Amino acid sequence: MPLSSELTLASSPRAAADARRWVSEVCRQLERSDLVECAELGVSELVANAILHATAPFKVRVRGTASHPRIEVVDGSTHPPVPPAPRDGDDLDLLLTFGRGLAMVAQCAVAWGATIEPDGKIVWFEPSPDMADAGDAEWVIDHQDDHSPEPTSDSAVEVRLLALDVALYAGLDRQYNELRRELRLLSLSHQSDYPLAGDLTSMFASFERQFPATYREQLLDAEARGLPRVDVTFPMMRESAPILVTMTEMFDVADAFCRAERLLAMARTAPQRGLHNWMLGELIHQLDGASAQPWSGHPSPSASTSQVG
């Protein structure tokens, strides 16, 4: 059952109670009533910490899989959480420690961790059926790989994506980043249960290395400027073509992975899939010597095209 919804929380004392009720209902929808107690306790601690020590916006959502659901609390601070120190003292000392909230989360969790993003962070945990006496759950930090530098080899080809729909691409990019993160976390914490997650994660990392930094910079600039369409130009190695061909198939596999309800995330929409296939096809054909052809999907209202790069 893919879950596209999330709960936006108010910056008020009632936020933790709202998060508890919402998470409890989601667990029951997933037929995981066994996780409700730890899910409620863990999300209460994370939301309380976020309200006290971070900045808005605050959100709570559930990701992962039905077998291994993951509860995430999102805030607007880029300061990473500090994992709790090992317990050394009596219970009163623990109650007076700043890190009590995260220590409690660790006791409620099978695994937990954080992702630091440019505009905030996500602190997450996988609730356990039973609360542990000691918080020994593994702490995981996932990192995105950096894009490769500009190709300088004689085998580099200048490729162009013409009249690319900026808004549609932005939605596709968000879907891709969420899927990429889901698969990476599964490969880190549940590789034996989801071997395909590790394979896809490795393929995605190889795929991303084919694109220079200027590719993403141009698209982010077009989105910031509110352009409906944009031409993007960047160098790409000829040797990238086989990887792009493989990834065209792998993205379909990832969609099937979502539709089979193995992930609590959404597959690409039909328009996103159409744009993605056009982009990959254009790059493959241009690396083989063909000329660039513009995106011919439905235009945005009052569409105009700006040359970038």
Amino acid at 285: H
Reading the chain (309 residues) residue by residue, the pLDDT tens digits are 445 478 999 998 899 999 999 999 999 999 999 999 999 999 999 999 999 889 999 999 999 888 889 999 999 998 888 766 655 544 444 333 334 568 888 899 998 989 888 889 999 999 999 988 776 677 777 655 555 555 655 679 999 999 999 999 999 999 999 888 888 888 887 878 888 888 888 999 999 999 999 999 999 999 999 999 999 999 999 999 999 999 999 999 889 888 876 788 789 999 999 999 999 999 999 999 999 999 998 644 433 344 444
119 and 87 assigned to the same domain? yes
132 and 236 assigned to the same domain? no
Indicate the SS3 state at residue 222: helix
| pLDDT at residue 165, rounded to an integer | 98
Q: Which own/partner contact pairs does 28-34 have at CB distance under 8 Å and 24+ positions apart?
A: 29/1, 30/1, 30/62, 30/66, 30/69, 30/264, 31/66, 32/66, 32/69, 34/129
Nearest Cα residue to 158 out of 282, 281, 245, 277: 282
44 and 18 assigned to the same domain? yes
118 and 166 assigned to the same domain? no
132 and 167 assigned to the same domain? no
Residue 147 domain-assigned (yes or no): no
Residue 146 domain-assigned (yes or no): no
Residue 119 domain-assigned (yes or no): yes
Query: Of 73, 106, 141, which residue is a domain's last?
Result: 141
293 and 166 assigned to the same domain? yes
pTM of the model: 0.79
Query: Of 141, 174, 190, which residue is a domain's last?
Result: 141
122 and 197 assigned to the same domain? no
165 and 280 assigned to the same domain? yes
- Are the C-beta atoms of 183 and 201 separated by less than 8 Å? yes
191 and 302 assigned to the same domain? yes
Q: What is the CATH number of the domain that holds 31?
A: 3.30.565.10
Q: Which pair of structure tokens corresponds to residue 124?
A: 């997450």
Domain encompassing residue 218: 156-308
Contacts of 209 (CB under 8 A, 6+ apart): 145, 147, 148
173 and 245 assigned to the same domain? yes
| pLDDT at residue 271, rounded to an integer | 96
| pLDDT at residue 96, rounded to an integer | 37
Residue 75 domain-assigned (yes or no): yes
93 and 168 assigned to the same domain? no
Contacts of 242 (CB under 8 A, 6+ apart): none
| pLDDT at residue 281, rounded to an integer | 97
Residue 150 domain-assigned (yes or no): no
Residue 273 domain-assigned (yes or no): yes
Query: Of 141, 169, 195, which residue is a domain's last?
Result: 141
| pLDDT at residue 182, rounded to an integer | 86
Residue 151 domain-assigned (yes or no): no
Contacts of 100 (CB under 8 A, 6+ apart): 45, 84, 94
Contacts of 127 (CB under 8 A, 6+ apart): 27, 35, 38, 39, 42, 69, 71, 108, 109, 110
111 and 247 assigned to the same domain? no
| pLDDT at residue 284, rounded to an integer | 97
Domains identified in the chain, total number: 2
